[in-house]
Amino acid sequence: MPSRQEVAYFGAGPAPLPTSVIEAGAKAFVNYNDSGLGLAEISHRSPTANQILADTKASLTTLLDIPDNYEILFMQGGGSGEFSAVVQNLVSVFVERRRRRAEANILKANPNEDPARVEELVLERLKKEIDEELKLDYIVTGSWSLKASQEAARLVGPKYVNVAVDARKANDGKFGKIPPEETWSLTPTRREGGKGSAFVYFCDNETVDGVEFPAFPKVLEPQGEDEEDERLVVADMSSNFLSRKVDVRKYAVIFAGAQKNVGVTGITIVIVRKSLLPPQTATPPASLLQKLNIGGVPGPIVFDYATIAKNNSLYNTLPIFNLWVAGQVMAELVNTFGTKKVSGQEEIAARKAQLIYAALDKYPHVYHVVPDKSVRSRMNICFRVYGGDADKEKEFLAGAEKRLLLGLKGHRSVGGIRASNYNAVPLENVERLVKYLEDYATGQY
């Protein structure tokens, strides 16, 4: 039986964790800080749990320089849960902003109007504006953003979902490129003479397809001071979270399932701008949303950002052990990189990815990297062996397993090979994989 040190694991998720965190977690699971209780047993409302929550928030704030006008939420449901939560919360923001505007306009024209009549007029106007103007923009560059757009269409109806980009159209029906921004058909903002969308959504790193945005899209850059005239940008960062520096201020919502780069399954991290939460933007009453008959809103209360924020992520039972694991990973990054913060991890991630891609590019007759070079993921390196020859790929995987290089099989929907290069994959394991890539290509495996 191999030891942990002998196995090099490149699975796409759940992903490897730092050995130090795993070992400490084993002790904490049985008896945390000599309390006689394991971390999975303590109350989520205990002082211990609250301290773990505060420490985790502090580490994350340090790593990403999260401004004071953002709230950090710890939720459940994974990235797939956030596909729904984003719709639920930001369509509600869209409605509330339109409700306020409609009410102000009606009262300006008729200052003495009966309140009940004002409510009727507001409802009429909202129904019309939602029917004619509600749009949810999706930039579809891979399997996960596609699933997110499909969930939005399921909830609110296809009429309201604008697929501003379908990257398959630029790549012979397959994902692997990000089309030029000038070709994106985003809903025009009010500043651009349009009505604006409820939000624009993209997946920063596509785990299945190996596509990563090289930088924040220029077309989504904020243009002014009035947030209501700007696009609310939502990013799924589940598979590249804390692997590079990001400017949090450019996003309305960032979310990430923990099980790739920061922890174990069961915790979802959400960073949301406070201006989208009460009291700055009140949640529309459930009764109003019901009258508007918008699919997906009001949604489950456990996905309501305002409720989770108000209760410091403790509205329902938060899995404290899972949170502690994520907190330990974040604290280790803080301690390791100091003033470099997440930029220190970014340097390592880039170095590891560079080594693997260099080996693949060295032998083009053997290996074919799936995505275009301009959008190659640093986290999920997808390639084919001998053009996707099934027998050769089985042979490749079998040879890798003999060397205890595990988790390299591509996603079932696309096949091929995928080396997931997450934060906890050590450089020496990447070097072992590179050695095997060299040996296989030269017939020495």
Three-class SS of residue 204?
A: coil
What is the CB-side half-sphere exposure of residue 210 using CA atoms within 13 A?
A: 28
Q: Which structure tokens are listed for 246?
A: 């990001």
Place of tokens 């989208």: 276
pLDDT higher than threshold 90 for residue 445? no
Place of tokens 């050995």: 19
Q: Residue 282 — very low, low, confident or very high, per pLDDT cuts 50/70/90?
A: confident
Three-class SS of residue 249?
A: helix
Higher pLDDT residue, 174 or 281? Answer: 174
Integer Cα distance of 267 and 259 in angstroms: 8
The pLDDT of residue 239 is: 97
Written as one string, the DSSP assignment of 315-365 is SS---HHHHHHHHHHHHHHHHHHGGGTHHHHHHHHHHHHHHHHHHHHH-TT
Q: What domains, with CATH codes, occur in the chain?
A: 67-321 (3.40.640.10), 339-442 (3.90.1150.10)
Integer Cα distance of 391 and 388 in angstroms: 9
Q: For 114-136, how does the pLDDT look when each residue is reduced to its tens digit (9 = 90+)?
A: 999 999 999 999 999 999 999 99
pLDDT higher than threshold 80 for residue 368? yes
pLDDT higher than threshold 90 for residue 380? yes
Q: pTM surpassing 0.75?
A: yes
What single-letter amino acid sits at 166? D
The pLDDT of residue 127 is: 97
Three-class SS of residue 56?
A: helix
pLDDT higher than threshold 90 for residue 362? yes
Q: Residue 281 — very low, low, confident or very high, per pLDDT cuts 50/70/90?
A: confident
Place of tokens 């904490």: 28
Please name the helix (run of DSSP H) or strand (run of DSSP E) that holds residue 232, with its range, or none: none
Q: Residue 1 — very low, low, confident or very high, per pLDDT cuts 50/70/90?
A: confident
**Strand ranges, E, within 174-265:** 199-203, 205-206, 211-212, 233-236, 253-257
The pLDDT of residue 226 is: 76
Mean pLDDT of 320-342: 98
Three-class SS of residue 206?
A: strand
pLDDT higher than threshold 80 for residue 140? yes
Q: What is the dihedral of CA 74, 80, 81, 84, to 10 degrees?
A: 130
Three-class SS of residue 139?
A: strand
The pLDDT of residue 219 is: 97
Q: Residue 437 — very low, low, confident or very high, per pLDDT cuts 50/70/90?
A: very high
pLDDT higher than threshold 80 for residue 102? yes
Three-class SS of residue 178?
A: coil
The DSSP call for residue 18 is -
- The fraction of the chain above a pLDDT of 90, given in percent, is 94
Q: For 199-256, how does the pLDDT look when each residue is reduced to its tens digit (9 = 90+)?
A: 999 999 999 999 999 999 999 999 877 777 889 999 999 999 999 999 999 999 999 9
Higher pLDDT residue, 202 or 281? Answer: 202
pLDDT higher than threshold 90 for residue 184? yes
Mean pLDDT of 304-312: 97
Place of tokens 């032998």: 363
The pLDDT of residue 283 is: 83
Mean pLDDT of 288-317: 96
Integer Cα distance of 11 and 350 in angstroms: 18
pLDDT higher than threshold 80 for residue 143? yes
Radius of gyration of the chain (CA): 24
For the chain, the average pLDDT equals 96
